[in-house]
Chain A
Amino acid sequence: MWIRGKNGTYEVLDLVAKSKYHRTRLCTHEDNVYLLRITTDAVHNHLLARNAFILSKLKEYSASMEEEYSKKHDGNLNYDLAFPYVVDDFIYHSQGARQVNVLGFKNVDSVSQMIPLSRFRRDRIRPDLPSSAWIFGKLLKTLHFAHQCAVAGQSLKLSNLLIEPSMHYIVVYDWSDAGVHSDGIRPSLIKEEIKEAAQSIITLLGDDLESVCVDEFDQNYVNFLQHLATHGMSNAQMAHEGFYKTVDELCYNPLSYWESGFHDFVTFNY
Chain B
Amino acid sequence: MGDRIFTRSLYSSALAAHDCGELNDKGEYVATTGVTRFAEQKARNTGKLDQLVDPSGFGVIRLSLPRVEKMEDGRYKLLVGTPMPIETRVDTTGSMGGNVDIAMKVLPDAFEQWQTVLEGYDIQVATGIFGDVSDPFPLCRPQFEMDPDKIIKQLSLMVPERAGGDLPEDPDLGIFGGAYFCRHYINRIGLKGYDFTVTDAPGRGQISERQLVRVYGEKFLDKIKENGLQFNSRNGIDLNDVWAVLLDRAHAFVIQVGNNSMTRRFWDRYTSSDRVVSIPDVHYLPHAQAAIIGVTEGSLVLNEVADFLVRSNMPKSMSELVANEISKIPVAAQASLPNFSKRPMKGDIFADKPDVWEDKNLWPVGDSDEVLPSGESALAGEDGEESEWL
How many of chain B's residues have a CB under 8 angstroms from any CB in A?
Answer: 32
Residue of B nearest to A53 (CB): B302
Binds B, one of A37-45, A71-79, A128-136, A165-173: A37-45
Contacts of B374 in A (CB 8 A): 41-42, 96
Q: Is the CB of A92 closer than 8 A to any CB of chain B?
A: yes
Contacts of A92 in B (CB 8 A): 390
Given contacts A2-B383, A25-B390, A46-B333, 8 further A-B contacts (CB under 8 A): A41-B374, A42-B374, A50-B302, A50-B327, A53-B301, A96-B378, A182-B278, A183-B264
Contacts of A150 in B (CB 8 A): 324
B301 touches A49 (CB 8 A): yes
Residue of A nearest to B273 (CB): A179
Q: Is the CB of A23 closer than 8 A to any CB of chain B?
A: yes
Q: Is the CB of A64 closer than 8 A to any CB of chain B?
A: no
Q: Answer whether A49 and B388 are a contact pair too, CB < 8 Å, given A41-B374, A95-B378, A96-B375.
A: no
Q: Answer whether A89 and B303 are a contact pair too, CB < 8 Å, given A49-B331, A179-B327.
A: yes
B382 touches A42 (CB 8 A): no
Which 6 A/B pairs are nearest by Cβ-Cβ distance? A46-B331, A53-B302, A180-B324, A96-B374, A49-B331, A42-B336
Residue of B nearest to A47 (CB): B331
CA of A36 to CA of B390, assembled, Å: 10
Q: Is the CB of A56 closer than 8 A to any CB of chain B?
A: yes
CA of A12 to CA of B390, assembled, Å: 9
Interface residues of B in 364-390 (CB under 8 A from A): 374-375, 377-378, 380-383, 387-390
Q: Is the CB of A3 closer than 8 A to any CB of chain B?
A: yes
Q: Is the CB of B330 closer than 8 A to any CB of chain A?
A: yes
CA of A169 to CA of B203, assembled, Å: 49
Residue of B nearest to A93 (CB): B377
Q: At the interface, is chain A mostly helix, strand, loop or mixed?
A: mixed
Residue of A nearest to B380 (CB): A94
Q: Whole-angstrom distance from the CB of B209 to the nearest CB of chain A?
A: 36
Q: Is the CB of B321 closer than 8 A to any CB of chain A?
A: yes
Q: Answer whether A45 and B382 are a contact pair too, CB < 8 Å, given A50-B327, A91-B298, A183-B259.
A: no
Q: Is the CB of A231 closer than 8 A to any CB of chain B?
A: no
Q: Whole-angstrom distance from the CB of B267 to the nearest CB of chain A?
A: 13
How many of chain A's residues have a CB under 8 angstroms from any CB in B?
Answer: 35
Q: Which residues of A does B touch, CB under 8 Å?
A: 1-4, 12, 23, 25, 36, 38, 41-43, 45-46, 49-50, 52-54, 56-57, 89, 91-92, 94-99, 150, 179-180, 182-183
Q: Whole-angstrom distance from the CB of A252 to the nearest CB of chain B?
A: 42
Residue of B nearest to A45 (CB): B332
CA of A94 to CA of B381, assembled, Å: 6
Contacts of B264 in A (CB 8 A): 183
CA of A4 to CA of B381, assembled, Å: 11
B382 touches A3 (CB 8 A): yes
B390 touches A38 (CB 8 A): yes
Q: Is the CB of B328 closer than 8 A to any CB of chain A?
A: yes
CA of A46 to CA of B303, assembled, Å: 12
A46, A53, A56, A183: the one within 8 Å of B332 (CB): A46
A97 touches B321 (CB 8 A): no
Contacts of B328 in A (CB 8 A): 179-180
Q: Whole-angstrom distance from the CB of A48 to the nearest CB of chain B?
A: 9
Contacts of A99 in B (CB 8 A): 332
Q: Whole-angstrom distance from the CB of A209 to the nearest CB of chain B?
A: 36
Contacts of B387 in A (CB 8 A): 1, 94-95
